[in-house]
C-alpha cells in the first residue's frame, strides 16, 4: 500500500514544474475552495470535521494567506486540517489545470456508462448520478463514509471483499484529502479500469503511475461566476462557469 504522502508529493512536484504565477484571489466557501492565479483558477472540495465546530483554528494563517504565492499555498496539501489541505489542492489545480495538455471535453458519467455497461463497478464516493447509473451496469457497489452516505451504500469494511471483483473503479478525488486513496488502490485489480473524478481532480499525468486510466476534472472558464457561487455556499450542481474535462493515460482511450 502506498503512503498517502506519495500522492501529495507527485502533485506538488507537478505543480512546481508549472510556470510561475501570482496569486490573485483565494475564497473558502462552505463546500468549495477556489484559488485564482495569473495562470487561471482551480477548485477543491472542503471536507468537514467535528473538530472545527469547537473553537479550533482549521486554517492557521487565515487572513494572511493572500501574502503567499500559489506554489507556497500548494504546500498546505500536506496539512492534517481538511480546509487547509483543500486550499493546497485548489492551488495545485490552479497551476495544473490551466497548463494541462491533451484535455478532452468529456464527462465522467459518459465514460462510466460506456466502460461499466454490463460490468461490475465500484464507486468510491456517492456521486449524484449514482442511482441513475445503476441501471447501466451489471453490478454497482457504492462505498461512502461521509455525510452523503445513503441507506444502501457500503462502508470501508466491505471494500476488502468487493473491490477486487470490480471491473471498473470510479474514485472521488476527495480521497486525496481524507488520505483514503492508498487503501482504495490497494484493493483494485491490476486489470481494472480506474478513474479519478470530481472538480478536485488534479489534471496531471503524474497520477497515471499509480494506476489511473483517466482523470476527470474541471477547468474554470468563468472565474467570476465560480467565485461568486462558492462564496455564496454553492454545491457542485450550482456552480456555473466550469467545463468538465478528461485527461487520458496514453493508450487507454
The mean per-residue pLDDT over the stretch 69-82 comes to: 94
In this prediction, residue 126 carries a pLDDT of: 87
Question: In the chain, what are the helix, strand and coil shares in percent, each to the nearest 5?
Answer: 40, 20, 40
| Placement of cell 477486487 in the chain | 164
* Domains 4-99 and 104-248 are alike in CATH topology: no
In this prediction, residue 48 carries a pLDDT of: 64
CATH code for 104-248? 3.40.50.11590
C-alpha cell, 10:
507527485
In this prediction, residue 54 carries a pLDDT of: 44
Tell me the CATH number of domain 4-99, given options 3.30.2130.10, 3.30.390.100, 3.30.460.90, 1.10.150.120.
Answer: 3.30.390.100
Q: Angle CA(210)–CA(215)–CA(217) in degrees, nearest 5?
A: 140
Quote the percentage of the chain above a pLDDT of 70.
93
* Annotated domain spans of the chain: 4-99, 104-248
Highest mean pLDDT of the ranges 149-158, 172-181, 210-219 = 210-219
- Binned at pLDDT 50, 70 and 90, residue 53 comes out as very low
Beta pairing partners, 242: 220
In this prediction, residue 52 carries a pLDDT of: 47
- Binned at pLDDT 50, 70 and 90, residue 251 comes out as confident
* Run of H or E including 123: strand 120-124
- Binned at pLDDT 50, 70 and 90, residue 56 comes out as low
- Binned at pLDDT 50, 70 and 90, residue 162 comes out as very high
Neighbours of 1 (CB within 10 A): 10
- Binned at pLDDT 50, 70 and 90, residue 229 comes out as very high
For CA atoms 166, 170, 176, 178, give the dihedral sign. negative
Instruction: Examine the pLDDT at 75 and tell me if it is beyond 80.
Output: yes
The mean per-residue pLDDT over the stretch 220-229 comes to: 96
The mean per-residue pLDDT over the stretch 107-113 comes to: 93
- Binned at pLDDT 50, 70 and 90, residue 147 comes out as low
Instruction: Examine the pLDDT at 77 and tell me if it is beyond 70.
Output: yes
Amino acid at each position: 500500500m502506498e503512503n498517502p504522502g506519495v500522492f501529495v508529493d507527485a502533485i506538488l512536484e507537478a505543480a512546481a514544474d508549472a510556470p510561475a504565477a501570482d496569486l490573485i484571489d483565494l475564497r473558502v466557501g462552505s463546500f468549495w475552495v477556489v484559488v485564482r492565479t495569473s495562470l487561471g483558477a482551480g477548485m477543491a472540495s472542503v471536507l468537514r470535521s467535528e473538530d472545527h465546530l469547537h473553537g479550533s483554528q482549521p486554517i492557521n494563517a487565515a487572513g494572511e494567506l493572500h501574502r503567499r504565492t500559489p506554489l507556497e499555498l500548494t504546500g498546505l496539501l500536506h496539512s492534517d486540517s481538511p480546509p487547509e489541505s483543500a486550499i493546497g489542492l485548489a492551488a495545485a489545480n490552479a497551476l495544473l489545470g490551466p497548463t494541462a495538455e491533451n484535455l478532452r471535453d468529456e464527462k465522467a458519467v459518459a465514460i462510466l456508462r460506456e466502460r461499466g455497461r454490463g460490468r461490475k463497478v465500484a464507486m468510491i464516493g456517492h456521486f449524484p448520478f449514482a442511482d441513475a447509473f445503476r441501471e447501466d451496469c451489471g453490478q454497482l457497489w457504492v462505498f461512502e463514509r461521509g455525510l452523503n452516505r445513503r441507506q444502501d451504500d457500503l462502508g470501508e469494511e466491505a471494500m476488502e471483499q468487493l473491490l477486487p471483483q470490480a471491473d471498473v473503479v470510479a474514485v472521488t478525488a476527495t480521497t486525496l484529502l481524507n488520505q483514503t486513496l492508498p487503501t482504495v488502490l490497494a484493493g483494485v485489480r491490476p486489470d481494472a479500469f480506474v478513474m479519478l473524478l470530481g472538480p478536485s481532480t488534479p489534471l496531471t499525468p503524474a497520477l497515471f503511475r499509480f494506476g489511473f486510466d483517466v482523470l476527470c476534472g474541471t477547468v474554470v472558464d468563468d472565474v467570476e461566476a465560480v467565485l461568486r457561487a462558492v462564496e455564496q455556499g454553492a454545491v457542485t450542481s450550482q456552480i456555473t462557469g466550469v467545463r468538465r474535462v478528461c485527461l487520458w493515460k496514453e493508450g487507454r482511450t
